[in-house]
Structure 1
């Protein structure tokens, strides 16, 4: 997963404690016999503390992804969860602090070599380093909170995807299980209580991803807050088609007209190919509906293979059309 490489971001006090403890160890065991050895010992302490701090800050910045290179899906999710611009600003401040600490340390190395007594210079240096680090404490705390949230994002691969939508209790999770042949992985997701259900299946050497998003695509858009709508928008960046399942028996507790209205909302919001499939074809209450493309039964598996084949063809066509558009845009740039 993209955000797994981000380690825990320590606070300014934790980083200062680490740096000064290492600096103290660097001085221990040295035989200080006069001004020269005192200068060398205190200089070693300053350089050790400065290097520990700059290295740690650089590592924090390096482990966060370059947001410009993130796949659009993850960029939008990161922006919804923590705010990409806010992360950029905090990482920029860590870059500044790293450079400033290096500058201050080198400056005090010059001073200590000219000083009669090196101790006040070293103390002054440590004071400056502490001040710089405490000035970015809020950034360090924010970045650690961001890291914790980003690591909880679902591991969604950049591969052909079937996004399953429709009201609760209509057979979405059953479809994912039947198609993938195993219990889907449940990935945490910051906008749902149940987590995204993600399964995979192969056709030849091609792998396909099936996603059920309880809490996102199972109720009308009008009932969602702004953050949830942004999360839904992120899904549009996948190479995906939408399978909208209708319960044609209404045994799920939702009337056909309500389901149809949500279908139109999904079509309007996503601008992705949508296949409408009526489920529960095995039940006596099942009705044929004129706006439905296909029918199936996740209980008896009737029609599931045909539905899956149709979805595969739709996603292949969508990817091919997207590639043509991208090629034309490249040609236009020339």
Structure 2
């Protein structure tokens, strides 16, 4: 599984739940007579309502148990996808799920309250009581209609998360546009790079993988996030950068000393300094296009187009990550 939100099922609307519950209840009641028919209808409708609502809540992972990367990123995405300021954020999503779960339990309580009363009356009384129970169940489901809609919106946004795995050693590639980030990622990683977009950006990120010493590393190129000064990011994008802080084990900041990328070198260095201040991991300055210019102080120089020292930069990134593979061992040996 790529991420904890990938397999979330479609969230039904309140109308869909009630239509399904009452139509099936009608069919169930039609197969029986008298009080027994009303009991069957009550049981069928209650089970469908409670099962559908509880399934919505229980299909979600426990947010507090997730890696902080996913919590921060989900918070940003849910905030961006919300249809109103009152629905924003992961804490609000947890409240929506809690209310949906409450409604599922309430439907069961209504059934339990009425099923004993049904058997004590005649057919007409049982029908009236069953109708009362249906009305109360419908009211409960309608109370969480907005909650179901908010959960559905969050689910649709989170299902398309890019495949970034915070438990794998991760190297984030940053720098202004056109400095060679995508070319570098494509050159040093496998051909099956994933190209995807965060829901709140119009640009597409690249996630590539390579192996070194039996360890799989992921390289993440983040256009739309770490390719411009912090003051130019909106609140949602800044929160996504916070999420990347939890995933990153090292950051490569690529520079173009020629300035042909369209951004002066001093601006590129200011972005590098802001990233180094933000991330509490090794941040390596890498001057690309070394075949054209090396007129900048950097930790490493390379030319992706010429293939010059590309592997050296990758080796330096691996060394900066300093990840050790955990191997099983026998304590007695």
Task: Work out whether the TM-score is over 0.5.
Answer: yes
* Correspondence 1:294-305 to 2 at 5 A: 294-305=300-311
SS of match in other structure, 1:251: coil
Q: Following TM superposition, where does structure 1 have runs of at least 4 consecutive aligned residues deviating by more than 3 angstroms?
A: none
Q: How far apart are residue 312 of structure 1 and its match? A: 0.3
> What is the aligned counterpart of 2:279 among 270, 276, 295?
270
SS of match in other structure, 1:132: helix
Distance 1:96 1:45, change over 3 A: same
Q: How far apart are residue 190 of structure 1 and its match? A: 2.3
Contact 1:191/1:216, CA 8 A, preserved across alignment:
no
Distance 1:181 1:150, change over 3 A: closer
Q: Which residue of 2 aligns with 1:309?
A: 315
SS of match in other structure, 1:243: strand
Q: How far apart are residue 191 of structure 1 and its match? A: 3.1
* Correspondence 1:135-146 to 2 at 5 A: 135-146=143-154
Q: How far apart are residue 53 of structure 1 and its match? A: 0.8
Q: Which residue of 2 aligns with 1:241?
A: 250
Q: Which residue of 1 aligns with 2:85?
A: none
Q: How far apart are residue 204 of structure 1 and its match? A: 3.1
Q: How far apart are residue 5 of structure 1 and its match? A: 2.0
Does 1:50 pair with 2:52? no
Distance of 2:265 and 2:147 partners within structure 1:
50
> What is the aligned counterpart of 2:113 among 90, 107, 127?
107
* Correspondence 1:1-334 to 2 at 5 A: 1-30=3-32, 32=33, 38-82=34-78, 83-116=89-122, 117=124, 118-157=126-165, 158-182=167-191, 184-283=193-292, 286-290=293-297, 292-316=298-322
SS of match in other structure, 1:236: helix
Distance of 1:115 and 1:5 partners within structure 2:
46
Distance of 1:81 and 1:174 partners within structure 2:
28
Taking structure 2 as the reference length, the TM-score comes to 0.90
Count the aligned residue pairs: 311
5+ residue gaps, structure 2: 79-88, 327-333
Contact 1:278/1:296, CA 8 A, preserved across alignment:
yes
Distance of 1:57 and 1:29 partners within structure 2:
26
Q: How far apart are residue 201 of structure 1 and its match? A: 0.7
Q: Return 76-85 or 300-309, whichever deviates more.
A: 76-85
Q: CA RMSD in A?
A: 1.5
5+ residue gaps, structure 1: 33-37, 324-334
Contact 1:152/1:190, CA 8 A, preserved across alignment:
yes
Q: How far apart are residue 226 of structure 1 and its match? A: 1.4
Cα deviation digits, residues 165-188 of structure 1 (max 9, x gap): 001001000000001042621122
